[in-house]
Homo-oligomer: A and B are copies of this chain.
Amino acid sequence: MPGPAVKLLGWARPYQRRLLAGDISAGVIVAMMMVPQAMAYAVVAGLPPVAGLYASILPPLLYAIFGTSMTQSVGPMAIISLMTASSLAPLAVPGSALYGVLAAQLALMSGAVLLLCGLARVGFLANFFSRPVMSGFTLGSALLIAWAQVATLFGADAPSALTLVRGIKLHPASATLGVAAVLALIWARRSLARLLQRAGLPAGAASIGARLAPMLVVAAGSLAVAAGAARGVPTIGAVPAGLPSLNLATAASYWSQLVQPSLLIGFMIFLISMSSAQALAQTGARGPDDGAVAKPAANMELVGLGVANLGSALSGGLPVTGSMSRGAVNHAAGANTPLASIISALLLAAALVAPTGYLSFVPMPVLAATIIVAVLGMLELDTLRTAMRYDRSDALALLGTAGGVLAAGVEAGVVIGVLLSMGTLIWRASRPHIAVLGRIAGSEHFRDVERYPGGTHPSLLILRVDAFLFFGNVDAVVARIDEELAARPQLRHLVLVLSAVNAIDTSALFGLADINRQLLVRGVTLHLAEVKGPVLDRLKQSDLLRQLSGQVFLSTANAWDALTACP
C-alpha cells in the first residue's frame, strides 16, 4: 500500500504577499498566548514549565512542513498533558530527571505510533469516537485537571486537592493571589471583549485582546511577587535560558511499559487534532489555493502530528497536539497559512535565547488559575443539551464516558469511550431498513409497498435491504425473513434486492448461506437481484452463488417476470 501523498509545504509555493500581514499578527499574538499556556500544561503533565516552552518550538515548525491544517497551532494541550501525567505517575517521581526522560520517550513513541498509522493509512480510526463520546471525554478530563490544580491555587502543601476538604490548611497570600487570578480571568472571559469594543476597538481585535488576559494576569502576578507584595507564594523558579539541546535520551527499561500509554495518547492526539482542524476548516479557514470546504486529510494529519511529536521528543518536550483554543485565536488573529505558526515558534525561541530571569517570578497559584479557567472553558454543554433532547442513548454515552474518566481515570476513559461509541453504533446498525417491494402498475419499477401501492404476488416475496450487510445486522435480516415467511404460507420464491448493499462481509456471507439452506428445507428458493458489480465480483470468489437455490437476476423486473411466469 502506498503511503499518503504528503504535499510538503504545500501552502508555501503559491504564497502571496497579501497573506503576510495576517500571518505576522497571528504569529505574534499566538506566541504571547503560548508562553503561559505551554508552561501551565507542562505543569499539568508533572514537568518543569520550561519543558512546555521546548515543546512549542520544534513541533509547530515541523507541523508547518508536514501537517494539513492551515491554522492549527500545535503544542502542549491540557488533556494530552493529563494523559502524560497519568501514564508516567506509576513509573517515576514528577520533577525527577527520569520523569523528564520518560515524557520525551512517550512523545517519541506516540509520534512513532501516529507516523506508522499515517503511513498505513488508517486515518479512519478517527471514527472510533462519536461526537457525544468526545464531548464526554473532554468533560471528564477537564474536571480532573481543574480538580488537580485546586490545591496549588490555594497554596496548600499536599499535592492533592483532597487535603483541602479534609482540613483546610491554605497559604493566605497564595490563596488570595490564586482566587484573584481566577476572578480576573473569568471576568476577562465574560466582559473584557465587550469593554474593549466599547473603548473603540473593532470586534475582532477586542476578542483577540480578551484572549491575551491569561498573559496579562500572569504578568501582573509575577510583578506582585517581584515587588515583594506576595511573600512566600511558590513560583515556578529559575527557567534555564537558551534553546533546548537536541538529543534523544531514553530509558531503555521502560519501552514495554510505555507501549499501551503511547497507543492511547497517540489515538487521543489524533482525535483532538482532527476535531480542532475540522472545526477550523468549518470556520472558513483555508489555504491560499483552496476554495473547497477544507477537510483535513486524516492520513496526512497523522503524519504531520507524528513528525511534530518526534520533534518534541528530540527537544526534551512532551506529547503535543493541535489545540482548539490556540487554533481559534490563530485564525481570528488573521492567520492565513502555517507561516503564522513558524513566526510564533521563532518568537518563542527568541524569548528563550534572551534572559529568562523574569519568568522565575511567575507564581504557581496564578498558573493554576489559568489552567482551571482554561479547562473549564473547554467544556461545551451544547452536545449534551442537544443529545438529551434528541437521543438519550447518545446522552448516556456522553455521561458514561465522562463518568468513566472521573471514576477510572483518563486512560480507562479512552477504552470506555470507544466501547460506548461502538455500542451505540452496533445497537443502531442492528436494525437496518428492510422494505417489501411491489411492482408499480404498468412499469418496470418496484417500490416499498408501505409507501407506494404496488403489485405483489402470493408465491413471490421481494425484499430490499438498505444497508451494507455485516455481522451486526445479518441476524436482523434473518429475523425479518422469518417474520415475512410466517405470514406467507404460499411463498415459493424470495428475492433479495441488493441495490443499496455496498458490501457483504464474511459473517454476512455465511449468514446468507444459512438463509439459503434453511429456506431450501422449507421449500422456498432464494434469489438475488441488482447485485452491485464489486459485490458480485466478490461473491463469485465464494461458494454462495454455487450453492444458491435460485438465480442472480440483473434487475428486479427480470426476477418478477421469471418467477411469476410459471405457476
Chain B residues within an 8 Å CB radius of A471: 127, 129-131, 421, 425
Supposing A295-B482, A386-B509, A482-B295 touch, asked if A514 and B282 sit within 8 A by C-beta, the answer is: yes
For residue A255, CB closer than 8 A to chain B, the reply is no
Q: Which chain B residue has the least Cβ–Cβ distance from A128?
A: B426
**When chains A and B are docked, how far (Å) is the Cα of A432 from the Cα of B503?**
9
**When chains A and B are docked, how far (Å) is the Cα of A282 from the Cα of B521?**
11
Chain B residues within an 8 Å CB radius of A129: 471
For residue A429, CB closer than 8 A to chain B, the reply is yes
Interface size on A, residues (CB 8 A): 73
Q: Interface-forming stretch among A240-248, A336-344, A472-480?
A: A472-480
For residue A427, CB closer than 8 A to chain B, the reply is yes
For residue A253, CB closer than 8 A to chain B, the reply is no
Q: Which chain A residues numbered 431 to 473 have a C-beta less than 8 Å away from chain B? A: 431-433, 440, 443, 445, 447-448, 451, 466-468, 470-472
For residue A292, CB closer than 8 A to chain B, the reply is yes
Do B502 and A432 touch across chains, with their CB atoms under 8 A apart?
yes
Q: Interface-forming stretch among A46-54, A67-75, A202-210, A538-546?
A: A538-546
Select A506's contact among B132, B467, B482, beta carbons within 8 Å.
B132
Supposing A389-B542, A467-B466, A468-B467 touch, asked if A482 and B292 sit within 8 A by C-beta, the answer is: yes
Supposing A293-B482, A391-B506, A475-B295 touch, asked if A426 and B124 sit within 8 A by C-beta, the answer is: yes
**When chains A and B are docked, how far (Å) is the Cα of A428 from the Cα of B471?**
12
**When chains A and B are docked, how far (Å) is the Cα of A55 from the Cα of B503?**
43
For residue A251, CB closer than 8 A to chain B, the reply is no
Select A422's contact among B128, B505, B509, beta carbons within 8 Å.
B128
Chain B residues within an 8 Å CB radius of A130: 470-471, 505-507
For residue A510, CB closer than 8 A to chain B, the reply is yes
Do A383 and B282 touch across chains, with their CB atoms under 8 A apart?
no
Supposing A284-B521, A422-B422 touch, asked if A502 and B433 sit within 8 A by C-beta, the answer is: yes
**When chains A and B are docked, how far (Å) is the Cα of A391 from the Cα of B293?**
34
**When chains A and B are docked, how far (Å) is the Cα of A447 from the Cα of B500?**
12
1/0 per residue, CB under 8 A from B, across A470-503: the answer is 1110010011001000100000000000011111
Chain B residues within an 8 Å CB radius of A125: 423, 426
Q: Which chain A residues numbered 492 to 539 have a C-beta less than 8 Å away from chain B? A: 499-503, 505-507, 509-510, 514, 517-518, 521, 530, 538
For residue A394, CB closer than 8 A to chain B, the reply is yes
**When chains A and B are docked, how far (Å) is the Cα of A479 from the Cα of B383?**
23
For residue A430, CB closer than 8 A to chain B, the reply is yes
For residue A387, CB closer than 8 A to chain B, the reply is yes
**When chains A and B are docked, how far (Å) is the Cα of A348 from the Cα of B424?**
44
* 14 A-B interface contacts by CB (under 8 A): A125-B423, A127-B471, A131-B506, A132-B507, A383-B510, A386-B506, A386-B510, A387-B506, A390-B506, A391-B538, A425-B429, A433-B468, A433-B501, A467-B467
A127-B426, A429-B468 provided; 13 other pairs, C-beta below 8 A? Answer: A127-B429, A127-B471, A128-B426, A130-B507, A295-B478, A386-B509, A386-B542, A387-B506, A391-B506, A391-B509, A433-B501, A433-B502, A443-B445
